[in-house]
Structure 1
């Protein structure tokens, strides 16, 4: 399984993904699910993937090929005029890749090769934007009402994000919030696991201003996990006590 979060703020974008893939309790592997491309001073685009590993790797490989060897009149990550046009092309590529794999596998391929993608980035002269692409290739954009996207194992970390998110918060606080969300997910679901990849994209920077891989010996993440657990217990005990005689 997978857990990826993309968050848009006034000050930029915060992205985090796990790296665990598994096809059984005794077959666990680590694969990167976060990728990025940039043109210094002009654009920065990042992608996070969830779903069938063969499908997502094929999509990323095709994006890399188009970036290095663009065809005539072909829209790529590095020449699309807007984020909308870039995301449209990624959506078409995802839909086509899924269809090819399902067709090659016939009836056995039904539903086996699905994937979803979060795309985040900024092109010079425009605002940072965040999108989520569905397996069908269609997509939605983050807004004031939906300022973050999750893909994969979303349910355990979502309440944290809903309660803690503030569009005006600092990028550092956003990282802390995302780490709490991941800690809650890791505690509840063994199919999501370390290491975690973190990327922070500052507004108008057109490059990652911070990248970090959270491993098993990461002191800050361990402190977040411990302190959050203790804070929850403290908050629980501070709530009014329930009495069987109150009713």
Structure 2
């Protein structure tokens, strides 16, 4: 399984993804789910994927390969003139890959399904964040919904709903995401560290701070234990229930 989150802040964009794709007693696989397409001074684009691994890898490979072959797809991801065009291209590529896989083998499209969080900035345009569906269509983050989740979303959503604020600093946004991921990891074995993080500052038009948070990271462990203590203290501080 997977858990990925993209936040749209007034200061820019923050992305975080886990790296676990399969889990079991003796079967754990780790794959990167965050990918970057950058041209310094022109564009910075981040893609996070969830779903069938063969599908998502094929989508990323096609985007990369077609960007190297001018005649393969015009415009490519490095030639798109806006983030809307990038979202359209990514959606078309995802739809194409799913259709190709379905025709080659199984009949159930769901087996090859995938969803994508796409965000970034191109040229003079504003930073934008999109959620791309398997059908190739997409929606954009707005003031009402300024973040997207894909994969195993339900466990980490409550903290985002209660604490997210587009005015928050990058540091607070990262802390919020770590709490959201910790809640998900605690509840679901299919999501785990390492976590990949990218912080993009609006207007920079270059890849921002990229980090990998590995097992045993001191700050993550502090957040995990501190959040557990804070929840227990908050619970203890609530009024006691009394039977009538």
**Cα drift, residue 26 of structure 1:** 3.0
Q: Determine if contact 2:3/2:150 at 8 Å carries over to the other structure.
A: yes
- In structure 2, do the counterparts of structure 1 residues 106 and 238 end up closer, same or farther at CA, with 3 Å as the change threshold? closer
**Corresponding residue for residue 42 of structure 2:** 42
What residue in structure 1 maps to residue 152 of structure 2?
Answer: 153
Match of 1:238 in 2: 237
The CA deviation at 1:24 is: 4.8
| 1:28/1:88 CA distance change after superposition, 3 Å | same
How far did residue 25 of structure 1 move? 4.3
Aligned to 1:62: 62
Task: Say if 1:195 and 1:216, in contact at 8 Å, map to a contact too.
Answer: yes
Instruction: Give SS of 1:149's match.
Output: strand
Alignment of 1:157-196 (within 5 A): 157-196=156-195
Tell me the SS of whatever aligns to 1:208.
coil
1: distance between equivalents of 2:95 and 2:33?
A: 18
Of 124-133 and 69-78, more deviation after overlay is shown by: 69-78
Aligned pairs, number = 244
Give the TM-score taking structure 2 as reference length: 0.97
1:115 maps to what in 2? Answer: 114
Structure-1-length-normalised TM-score:
0.96
**Runs of 5+ in structure 2 lacking a partner?**
none
Matched, 1:16 2:16: yes
CA distance in 2 between counterparts of 1:113 and 1:38 reads 28
Counterpart contact for 2:130–2:141, Cα < 8 Å? yes
- Structure 1 segments (4+ residues) deviating >6 Å: none
Q: How many angstroms apart in 1 are the aligned matches of 2:7 and 2:233?
A: 28
CA contact (8 A) 1:40 1:207 kept: yes
Q: Relative to structure 2, which stretch is displaced further, 220-229 or 17-26?
A: 17-26
Secondary structure of the residue aligned to 1:111 is helix
Question: In the TM superposition, what are the counterparts of 1:47-126 in structure 2 within 5 Å?
Answer: 47-71=47-71, 74-107=74-107, 109-126=108-125
Secondary structure of the structure 1 residue equivalent to 2:35: strand
Q: Which runs of 5+ in 1 are unaligned?
A: none
For the residues of structure 1 that align with 2:119 and 2:218, how far apart are their CA atoms?
28
* Alpha-carbon separation, structure 1, partners of 2:134 and 2:22: 20
Contact 1:34 1:49 in 2 (8 A): yes
Note the C-alpha offset of 1:210. Answer: 1.2
